[in-house]
Amino acid sequence: MLKEISRKNAVHIMLVYTGGCNGCDIEVVNAVMSPFYDMEQYKVMLTWNPREADILAVTGPVTKKFEKALKEIYEAIPEPKLVAAIGTCAITGGPYANLGGDLGSSDQIIGGVAKVIPVDANIPGCPPRPEDILQAVASVIPLLAGKR
- Neighbour tally for 130: CB within 10 Å: 18
DSSP 59: E
Q: Is 122 in the site for ligand SF4 (CB under 6 A)?
A: no
CB 54 within 8 A of CB 81: yes
Q: Binding segment for ligand SF4 among 8-16, 32-40, 83-91, 130-138 (CB under 6 A)? A: 83-91
Query: Should residue 59 be labelled a site residue for ligand SF4 when binding is judged by CB under 6 A?
Result: yes
For position 87 contacting ligand SF4 by CB under 6 A, the verdict is yes
DSSP 5-44: HHHHH-EEEEEEE-SS-SHHHHIIIIIITSTTT-GGGGTE
With CB under 6 A as the rule, give the number of residues binding ligand SF4.
13
Q: Does 126 bind ligand SF4 (CB under 6 A)?
A: yes
User: Site for ligand SF4 (CB under 6 A): which residue of 18, 88, 92, 122?
Assistant: 88
The residue ranges that bind ligand SF4 (CB under 6 A) are 20-21, 23-24, 59-60, 87-89, 94-95, 126-127
